[in-house]
Each structure stands twice: as C-alpha cells, then as structure tokens.
Amino acid sequence: MDTFRSNNMEGTWNYQPCRNGHPFPITKEDTCLDFLCKYCGKTLNVFTYHRCYAVNAYCYKCRHHGHFARMCSFHVKSCENQKPKKKSKSKSKIQRDSDRMRTFIEKKQMSQFPFQGLEDQEIASFTCSIQDESTKQHINKLKVTNRNFIKEIAALKSEHSKLDTVVKDNVILRNNLDKVNLERLEHGRIIQKIEHELAEHASRTENFEKEIVRLKEENLNLTNARQRLTMEFKNTDMHYNRILNDMEGEIQRLREENVNSRHEIQHLDIKHSNRGVRSTLAICSRGNSQQHHRRGGGYPRR
C-alpha cells in the first residue's frame, strides 16, 4: 500500500497486480515519498521503471502506451501550448488615438508656414505694436512673396512628380531598349545563320548546275548512241529480212523438190509393185506348168 496515496486521498490504495498475479515485492520502507513514478504513480524508491506496472499499459486520454490515464499530462501540455489571445482596444481608446493622429498631422502641415513657432498672444502684440505703413507694406510684400514661394513649391512638386514619372518611363524604356538590343542580337545571329545557309544553297546550286550540264552531255551522247544503234538495228533488220526471204525461197524450192521426189518415189513404188506382181505371176505360172507336165503332160491352159 502506498502511504503517500493513502495519506493524501481518502481510503486505501491498492496497486494493480502484475501479469502473473503477484504484486511487486517491497524491499525498503517508503523513505522518499515526494518522488513518484511519472508512469504509474508509485514511489521511485520501491522499484525501477523496468518493473513498472505501466510498461505495457494503455492510456485512455492520449491513446498511447506506457503510462496510466491518471498520470497522463496530455491535457496539461495542450493547455500550456495554447497561444495568448490578442487584446482588442476599446472604442474610447480608438477614438483617442485617432484624435492624437489628426492633431499631429495638422501640426506637421502648419509647420511649413512662417511664424509657426510664435503663439497667438505674441503675434497679436507684435501686430499691435506695428503702426507704420511701411512695415505693413513690407509685411504684405512678404506675404505675397510667401504665396509666390508656395506656388513655386507646388509647381516644383508637380515638376518633381512629372520627373518621377519621366524617370519611371525612362527605366521602362531602358528595359525595352535592352530587350530590343537582345532581339537585335538574336536577329543578327539568325541573319548570319541564314546567310550561311544561303551560301551553302548557292554552292549546292552550282554543283547541281554542273551536274545538270554533265547529265545533258551524257543525255546527248546517249541520244547519239541510241540513233546509231537504231540505224544499226534497221540495217541488221533489213539484212535479216533479206536472209529470211532467201531462206523462205530456199524452203519453198526444197518443198517443191520434196514434192517432186515424193511423186517420183510413188511412181517408182508403183513400178516396183507392178514388177513384183508380174514376177509372182510368172513364178506361179511356171509352177503350174511343171505340175501339169508331171501329171499328164500337156501345157497349161491360158
């Protein structure tokens, strides 16, 4: 039982047992009760962290492991990390600040006029003491000159504003001029590239013209050769036609001779066949006469 918990809280305090069901052994008395374990709440002189109950415990506040929910400092840290709220001014303070700013601007604008450092009473006494008309005229002249100076200042301010606009325009024109110079350089490079390409095209055209002249000469030679070959072909064709005509005449003559030879052969065959028939008839007649002579004599009948 933890004496610190039992003294400061009502009732007794029983620690959660370990996994095997036995509580941690207490070897020493609670001599240092002010130092508690920040994970489980037990005094540090009784046990070390590796024997703490909350080593594998789950916290239901911050959803992390390693401590109990009663020792969780998540809410405290979130409260400490909150940014302080900005204080807003009240309406009276805002009105006071606006009045102060307006008076400051008025004083700054009035500081450009003469006699600004003098107070109203001093100005009144000074004006009452002046009685001479010459001084009044001098004051009027000074007022006129002051007005002229103010007008000149306004004119100079307008000229200064115009000069500012001119300077801005000058800067813009310089930037544009730089861009134009860059574009001019780029165009110069492009022109050089185009000139180089034109020179290459000119050299190519010269080569093409030379090639065209050579091809024309070759074409002329080829046309002459073609004409010569056509003439030779015509001559050879005429020669071959003559030879063919001669051969056809010779073939016709040979055909006629062949026909004549065939007729002669047929005539000879007919003669030969007639001779064979006569010879066979003579042989047959001789045989018959011999047989008749053998049988009874006499000549055979014709």
The structure tokens listed for 63 are 């959803």
Q: Which of 28-37, 51-60, 273-282, 293-302 has the highest mean pLDDT?
A: 51-60
Phi, psi of 202 (to 5 degrees): -65, -45
Position of tokens 């807003």? Answer: 88
The structure tokens listed for 144 are 């006129």
The structure tokens listed for 73 are 């400092």
Residue 81 has pLDDT above 80, yes or no: no
pLDDT band at 25 (very low <50, low <70, confident <90, very high): very low
The percentage of the chain sitting over the pLDDT mark of 70, rounded to a whole number, equals 66
pTM over 0.75: no
89-111 tens-digit pLDDT: 888 888 899 899 888 888 777 77
- Please say whether the beta carbons of 302 and 288 come within 8 A: no
Residue 52 has pLDDT above 60, yes or no: yes
Please count the other Cβ atoms lying within 10 Å of the Cβ belonging to residue 72.
Answer: 17
Least confident piece of the model among 58-72, 212-226, 279-293:
279-293
According to the model, what pLDDT value does residue 219 have?
Answer: 92
How long is the chain? 302
Q: What is the mean pLDDT of residues 241-247?
A: 89
